[in-house]
């Protein structure tokens, strides 16, 4: 009793906590570093954000379009726009940069396309021709051309200098959700909400090949940076790899949910895929998942890489979120043992010192399986917590 009274009156010190050895503290802290985190979340428009694109040249700027009919330019990491461009008469539904990040093209619900000069902050071209919503755009890698896809089921090629459409490609039964030029600029690939994938020859102005259809809308198309290979992602939960010499299906990767975005690494040694909850790293021939990172970006809209980091941007209502994944901590890019076991993503657990000393090192495929399992468990825990809060 005297000791308790002394403690209450401040005449005795509380017992000191026993500190762990320095080596244990250092190892535990190193293993807890997150592989993925949210860099920022901000209110980007006065109403719903419909589209966004990260500048691939610098990965430092982003353009967004919204129901408020505006095109906003952002410096990633900042929450105030560099520019807010008004001029569209209907909601902006797709946006993209040119390769120099000096011009933005935006497509609107009314079928109109506008080219914005970012230095002058003004419209330099207004182009019409689509009969319905423009939902996809892509700049040609070299010339002053761009492609657009629309709910009118057509893909159009536009010449900026001639201020008009030079080709209209037809053949989809539903809207063209993706239009993408090949790296050499000779082809354009269109992916439709009908699941069909068509490859068009720009020189001949005709269909070169139609690839076997997905079972759901095509959501993403990505050409390999160095090889005649293309990856197509779909809401049918698959990513397919196609050989562009033989037009044969090379491999198929199966996701748990629909594919929202895809991106080859700069070296072309892996494909990064984003779903509503995960980033996965894939290799092909044979298809295998090297790693999975739990990232709660939900409505992922675009991916970009810079200096070993992956940027992912998502939109929800009027808000935009930007996420960062450290690829150096992901298989097959990771090296060294200081990062602990793979998996867990934003919820990496501390490594238990000495727990695995006598176990042989896991193989790459074993680490991938562990990562997928850990990511699934984290997702289930998040869903359970959400349901618990809803019951309360």
Report how far residue 291's alpha carbon sits from residue 330's, in angstroms, rounded to the nearest whole number: 6
Q: What is the pLDDT of residue 103?
A: 96
Instruction: For 61, list phi and psi in degrees, rounded to 5.
Output: -130, 160
Q: Which residue in 167, 171, 126, 174 sits closest to 150, CA to CA?
A: 174
Q: Which residue in 302, 366, 373, 329 sits closest to 76, CA to CA?
A: 302
Residue 22 DSSP one-character state: H
Q: Which residue in 251, 212, 213 sits closest to 231, CA to CA?
A: 251
300 burial via Cβ count (<10 Å: 0-12, 13-18, 19+) = buried
Question: Which pTM was predicted?
Answer: 0.78
What is the tens place of the pLDDT at every residue in 181-217? 999 999 999 999 999 999 999 999 999 999 998 999 9
- Is the separation of the CB atoms in 207 and 178 below 8 Å? no
Q: What is the pLDDT of residue 7?
A: 33
Q: What is the pLDDT of residue 163?
A: 83
Report how far residue 161's alpha carbon sits from residue 312's, in angstroms, rounded to the nearest whole number: 33
Which residue positions in the chain have pLDDT lower than 70?
1-32, 335-392
Sign of CA dihedral 112, 183, 100, 326: positive
Pairing mode, strands 176-181 and 187-192: antiparallel
Q: Which two three-digit tokens encode residue 392?
A: 């309360």
Partners of 192 in the β-ladder: 176
Q: What is the pLDDT of residue 366?
A: 52
Q: Which two three-digit tokens encode residue 245?
A: 């010499």
Q: Is the preceding peptide bond at 73 cis, omega within 30 degrees of 0? A: no
Q: What is the pLDDT of residue 356?
A: 38
Q: Which two three-digit tokens encode residue 305?
A: 């890489």
Residues 6+ away with beta carbon under 8 Å from 156: 129, 130, 147, 148, 150, 165, 167, 168, 169
């Amino acid at each position: 009793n005297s000791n308790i009274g002394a403690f209450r009156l401040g005449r005795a010190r509380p017992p000191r906590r026993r500190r762990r050895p320095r080596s244990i503290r250092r190892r535990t802290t190193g293993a807890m570093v997150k592989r993925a985190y949210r860099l920022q979340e901000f209110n980007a428009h006065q109403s719903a954000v419909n589209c966004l694109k990260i500048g691939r040249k610098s990965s430092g700027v982003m353009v967004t379009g919204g129901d408020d009919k505006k095109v906003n330019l952002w410096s990633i990491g900042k929450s105030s726009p560099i520019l807010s461009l008004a001029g569209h008469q209907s909601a902006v539904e797709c946006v993209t940069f040119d390769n120099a990040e000096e011009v933005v093209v935006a497509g609107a619900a009314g079928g109109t396309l506008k080219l914005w000069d970012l230095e002058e902050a003004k419209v330099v071209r207004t182009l019409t021709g689509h009969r319905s919503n423009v939902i996809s755009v892509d700049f040609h890698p070299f010339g002053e051309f761009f492609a657009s896809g629309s709910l009118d089921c057509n893909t159009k090629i536009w010449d900026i200098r001639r201020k008009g459409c030079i080709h209209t490609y037809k053949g989809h039964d539903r809207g063209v959700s993706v239009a993408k030029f090949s790296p050499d600029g000779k082809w354009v690939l269109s992916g439709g909400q009908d699941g069909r994938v068509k490859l068009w020859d720009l020189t001949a102005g005709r269909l070169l090949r139609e690839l076997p259809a997905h079972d759901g809308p095509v959501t993403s198309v990505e050409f390999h940076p160095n090889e005649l290979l293309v990856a197509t992602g779909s809401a049918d939960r698959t990513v397919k790899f196609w050989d562009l010499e033989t037009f044969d299906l090379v491999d198929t990767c199966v996701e748990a949910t629909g594919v929202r975005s895809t991106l080859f690494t700069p070296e072309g040694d892996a494909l990064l895929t984003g779903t509503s909850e995960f980033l996965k790293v894939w290799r092909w021939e044979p298809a295998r998942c090297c790693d999975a990172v739990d990232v709660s970006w939900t409505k992922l809209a675009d991916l970009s890489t810079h200096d070993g980091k992956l940027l992912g941007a998502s939109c929800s209502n009027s808000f935009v979120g930007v996420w960062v994944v450290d690829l150096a901590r992901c298989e097959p890019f990771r090296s060294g043992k200081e990062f602990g076991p793979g998996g867990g993503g934003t919820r990496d657990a501390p490594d238990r010192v000495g727990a695995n000393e006598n176990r042989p090192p896991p193989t790459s495929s074993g680490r991938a399986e562990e990562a997928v399992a850990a990511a699934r468990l984290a997702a289930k825990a998040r869903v359970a917590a959400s349901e618990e809060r809803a019951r309360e």
